[in-house]
């Protein structure tokens, strides 16, 4: 079996998904094409040798409906014979793209694969692909009567189940911004970000981080999912989720160059990390956001490791209750949890987030001289991917 390795991992700056956002004037294909172009160029890679481009994208509608990885590859002027496919495992789409890329190399069917992800949430709003339709069907609705709830309500259900207060959530959210600001100020993000040309000019830094955010300021925000009918159904909910302790809607793209170790060495490229273990699992779709807990337990068992063996945890901050419940359930060290901030500060461009997290984790491990990192992301429908990587010296 061949050993897949990470040769490079990069991302665009994270931009606010608003009309005046730094990347809002840029078509998602043009955004991703610049990331792919720079990934190929900085590794002096012959693009004709790439076997496949696997692209995570959640809202496959409108400007993102046309196999965005394929279009972005061609838009970058790269060889037409290289194919691409699009992955939708909701928020974990590009993390799943990484898994599929590594598994293709492990099987021996491919040698060089680019995993990537893109989401322009300013141009293709979340939920665009549903077009107002019922996506579940009568049999699903019957099984889960009286019905599932939206992700924000699930976030409040998670907070209630793990005894997380509004103060806990706001303190965590403020810390995310503080950690991301510290990383940005120190230049810690410089190696992972590639500049993007937009109609408004060159974008080279994240615009989502709010250095002035404090616990006290966040405490003044209104809970956004409070609902009388749901309060009667779920009397345990305290309605604590706000725009400030949830992930930001963001525009962004990311990409990772994955090869067999043998091919990387043949090309004179340095393998930066290897994959220790993968997992993907489902959990209760009502709570929806809890699957990172069993996914972590399963991936650690596959790797024959303990959580204490891991130096860096990336648990996607879809809502503050998600990493906090994960931490409380598993007894994790908060200093190792999202040490450079997470989606509350950096944003969550759905299809790009999986590789964004792994890119940040890889660079942080390299900078600190540490060895193992674990990443997991909650996904709509009550699913989660989990990955353990080992940095190579």
- Token representation of residue 340: 């450079």
Parallel/antiparallel/unpaired status of strands 52-56 and 4-11: unpaired
Rounded CA-CA distance 110/152 in Å is 40
Residue 348 falls in the annotated catalytic set: yes
Residue 177 falls in the annotated catalytic set: no
In the beta sheet, which residues pair with residue 254? 11, 117
List of residues 6+ apart from 289 with CB closer than 8 A? 151, 154, 155, 158, 318, 319, 321, 322, 325, 378, 382
List of residues 6+ apart from 236 with CB closer than 8 A? 157, 160, 161
Rounded CA-CA distance 50/114 in Å is 7
Closest CA to 207 of 319, 360, 346: 346
| Choice among 91, 99, 181, 363 that is catalytic | 91
Catalytically active residues, by annotation: 91, 348, 378
């Amino acid at each position: 079996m061949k050993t897949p390795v990470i040769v490079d991992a990069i991302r665009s700056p994270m931009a606010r998904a608003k009309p005046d956002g730094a990347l809002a004037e840029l078509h998602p294909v043009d955004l991703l094409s610049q990331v792919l172009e720079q990934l190929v160029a900085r590794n002096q890679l012959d693009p004709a040798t790439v076997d496949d481009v696997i692209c995570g994208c959640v809202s496959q509608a409108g400007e993102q409906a046309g196999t965005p990885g394929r279009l972005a590859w061609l838009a970058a002027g790269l060889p037409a014979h290289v194919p691409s496919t699009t992955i939708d495992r909701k928020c974990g789409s590009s993390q799943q793209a990484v898994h599929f890329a590594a598994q293709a190399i492990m099987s021996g069917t491919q040698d060089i694969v680019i995993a990537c992800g893109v989401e322009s949430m300013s141009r293709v709003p979340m939920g665009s692909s549903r077009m107002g339709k019922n996506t579940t069907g009568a049999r699903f609705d019957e099984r889960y009567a009286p019905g599932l709830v939206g992700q924000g309500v699930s976030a409040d259900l998670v907070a209630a189940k793990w005894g997380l207060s509004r103060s806990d959530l706001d303190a965590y959210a403020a810390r995310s911004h503080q950690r991301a600001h510290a990383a940005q100020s120190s230049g810690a993000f410089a190696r992972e970000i590639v500049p993007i040309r937009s109609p408004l000019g060159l974008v080279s830094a994240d615009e989502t981080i709010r250095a002035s955010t404090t616990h006290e300021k966040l405490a003044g925000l209104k809970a956004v999912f409070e609902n009388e009918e749901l309060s009667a159904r779920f009397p345990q909910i305290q309605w604590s989720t706000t725009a400030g302790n949830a992930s930001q809607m963001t525009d962004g793209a990311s990409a990772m160059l994955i090869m067999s170790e043998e091919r990387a060495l043949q090309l004179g490229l340095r393998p930066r990390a290897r994959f220790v273990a993968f997992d993907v699992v489902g959990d209760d779709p009502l709570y929806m956001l809890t699957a990172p807990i069993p996914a972590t337990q399963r991936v650690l068992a596959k790797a024959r490791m303990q959580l204490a063996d891991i130096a860096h945890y990336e648990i996607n901050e879809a809502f503050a209750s998600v990493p906090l419940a994960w931490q409380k359930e598993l007894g994790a060290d908060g200093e190792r949890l999202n040490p450079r901030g997470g989606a509350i500060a950096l944003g969550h461009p759905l299809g790009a987030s999986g590789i964004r997290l792994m890119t940040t984790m890889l660079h942080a491990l390299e900078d600190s001289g540490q060895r193992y990192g674990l990443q997991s992301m909650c996904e709509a429908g009550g699913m989660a991917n989990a990955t353990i990587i080992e940095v190579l010296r």
